[in-house]
Amino acid sequence: MHIGLTQFALAAATCCLGGSLAFAETAPPKDAPIKAGSWSFDTGNQGHPDLVFKDEGRMVFQVFCAHAFGLRAVYPGMPGKDEEKATITIANGKTTMMIKGAMENPVAPIDPPDTTHFAQYNLGYDSQDPNLFKRKWRTEESRLLDFLDSGQPLTISADGQSFVLPPIDVRGWKAQFKKIC
């Protein structure tokens, strides 16, 4: 896992927006730069699934499941204060998904320096929510993973700025992720 318990507790407390995944039929910006780098999937030494896009060894986008389900991305818009509420839009060429969360200062040595990250934990559910990891939550998790696994480039946008990640090209990552998480 790439975050400490303190960072997780702070982020979880600020990201508890419940039901914060919203789908829409809108077009992403056409002129966003495509990031160089590559996708990887690993289960680490503790068996936790971790899907990561790295550019020059630095984490640009991450979906993981450990003590919490997490989504982190370099925030493409204006940097904000740590724990400030934020929203990103991810487009996959077919639909877009708005995700509510919070700003997060880089917390891992592999995070790009001089960047702010967007973070959302547990799909926006409060850690005490009785629906966490239940049927509705699992449906939202599946929708997110299916959305990411569209075979299309992913455009990450916020505040009128964006960047594009190539399609996820890690074979079998989604099935492994769902099996473990």
Per-residue pLDDT tens over the stretch 88-101:
999 999 899 999 99
Give the C-alpha separation, 108 to 99, whole Å: 22
* Total tally of structural domains belonging to the chain: 1
Range of the domain at 155: 5-168
In a domain, residue 25? The reply is yes
Task: Identify which has the larger pLDDT, 36 or 38.
Answer: 38
180 within a domain of the structure (yes/no): no
Q: Is residue 103 part of a domain?
A: yes
Tell me if the pTM is above 0.75. yes
Distance CA 97, CA 88 (A): 8
Residue 178 in any domain: the answer is no
- Condensed to tens digits (0 to 9), the pLDDT of residues 66-81 reads 989 999 999 999 988 9
Residue 179 lies in a domain: no
